A = this chain, B = another copy of it.
Amino acid sequence: MNPLDHEEFRRQGHMIIDFIANYYRDIEKYPVRSQVEPGYLHKRIPENAPYNPEPIETILQDVQNHIVPGLTHWLSPYHFAYYPANASIAASLGEILCTGFNVDGFNWMASPAATELENIVMDWLGKMLELPESFLFSGNGGGVIQGTTGDAVLCTVIAARDQLLNRIGRENIVKLVVYGSDQTHCSLHKAAKIAGIHPNNVRSVKTTKSKAFALSPDSLRAAIISDKEAGLIPLYLCATVGTTSSGAVDPVGPLCDVAEDYGIWVHIDAAYAGSACICPEFRHFIDGVECANSFSFNPHKWLLTNLDCCCLWVKDPSALVNAFSTDSEYLKNTATDSKQVVDYKDWQVPLTRRFRAIKLWLVLRSYGVVNLRNYLRRHVEMAKHFEGLIAMDKRFEVVVPRNFSLVCFRISPSARVNGCSADDEESTANELNRKLLKSLNDSGLVCMTHAIVGGIYMIRFSIGQPLTDYRHIEMAWKVVQEYTDAMLGTYLK
């Protein structure tokens, strides 16, 4: 047995490429959200690993027959759920190079190209976002590819925590407070919990519909003052550009101003919307980022980069390195000793790291800045088009102002059709929209998810998958209307 025989790799490799190419060709045929029941796979797969080898042909047949039906097809053009998880030919090729080389670039020495290419693409991307020089390696800051936002938030919380505790004493850990809004992603709560921040010291500052669910600087200041009066110690603010529920944008600049008054670390989480900020017309959403300590977004969401890839920039890499560096004899080497290189193991939780930079490099080069911008703009235009479709049917309403390519809509509480109506009360509207969403997802024709903001249950129509085009948007809207018809009775124009 030679498990890396190059001719056999070639044979099986071509087979798998064809398998995936056919999957993309046929993807519209599959129910978007998997229709299986819990436990389906246990019934189809043996209880033990096989003792003897099985041929790849058999295995791929099983993938088709048993795995594909259990997938929710994130790459389907009808997948409008959550935020997108992008893929592209360029990034797929990058992933194949990454897994093909299979280098573990935990420090420079372990594979110099992995580290240096990451330095380079992080500076490239930082410039595309017009991040200030202080976030780039060329300006003594720097960027690192993490797995996802959860990692980026955890790493920056830990860096901020240790920077502060090293000054004021470890025993103060129980007094630290972190801040976000009630729209901030759960990653902040998780990171704070992991970091040993007291569960009572995670502030979810209330947002309101009147301010489009953005975190108000005044409310933040009030929360901080109240905490300080209680003898607590403000540590960290996570401001969001493009919240998960509704795509809301916290005002970065004014929030940084407040944070600065109290010496708080500010992290900007632009997981989804950060991609759009490579377009000059959307860049203003991160105005003020120059006053933050760190910034992250996920090219794996909306920048044509396969999972996983979260880009994190920090102004002060030493804060990360002081928190995460380890000093094992077995990893010592002359390059590290020279202090001329970056050892990314000290910028993250795990030691091991895949060569993720190469897929980002392939994406940036294969599409170029021009096509990446146009790709993003097109989704935003589609979202406007979808809003136009909604506006033509008075049963529906857009719930919150749209910033990017996420449209949050619902059957309006005022919709009264054929006697089978939504009650004026919000709670009835919520129930109706919940039912509508369930029937849409059960149909397998489209996939969407929901959120609740300010007590309003709304359907999130998140555009951003690479295969999605205008025809899919229109078809999806038709499906929404038809299922609403069936629920409410036919809409008479």
Contacts and interface: CB of A to CB of B under 8 A. Distances in A.
Contacts of A73: 101, 103
A479 B81 CA distance: 58
Contact of A103 (B72, B327, B338): B72
B330 A449 contact: yes
Interface stretch (A150-158, A287-295, A395-403): A150-158
A330 B150 contact: no
Contacts of A472: none
Q: Please indicate which of the listed interface residues A90, A190, A341 has the most CB atoms of chain B within 10 Å of its own CB.
A: A190
> How many protomers of this protein does the assembly include?
2
A160 to B, nearest CB: 13
Given A92-B9, A93-B16, A375 B1 contact: yes
A4 B467 CA distance: 7
A39 interface: yes
A48 interface: yes
B56 A366 contact: yes
Given A5-B24, A190-B351, 11 more contacts: A3-B89, A6-B22, A12-B89, A49-B125, A49-B127, A52-B368, A72-B110, A73-B103, A99-B307, A189-B326, A349-B349
B113 A349 contact: no
26 contacts: A3-B88, A3-B375, A4-B88, A6-B22, A16-B96, A36-B112, A36-B113, A40-B116, A41-B116, A49-B364, A52-B370, A53-B366, A53-B371, A67-B358, A70-B116, A71-B113, A72-B111, A92-B96, A96-B96, A151-B350, A154-B349, A170-B174, A190-B324, A194-B195, A244-B328, A298-B352
A294 to B, nearest CB: 17
A317 interface: no
A256 B196 CA distance: 26
Contacts of A67: 113, 117, 358
A451 interface: yes
Interface in A100-119: 100-104, 108-114, 116-117, 119
The 7 closest A-B CB pairs, nearest first, are A196-B196, A70-B113, A13-B17, A20-B100, A186-B326, A150-B350, A3-B88
Contacts of A2: 466-467
A150 B352 contact: yes
A391 interface: no
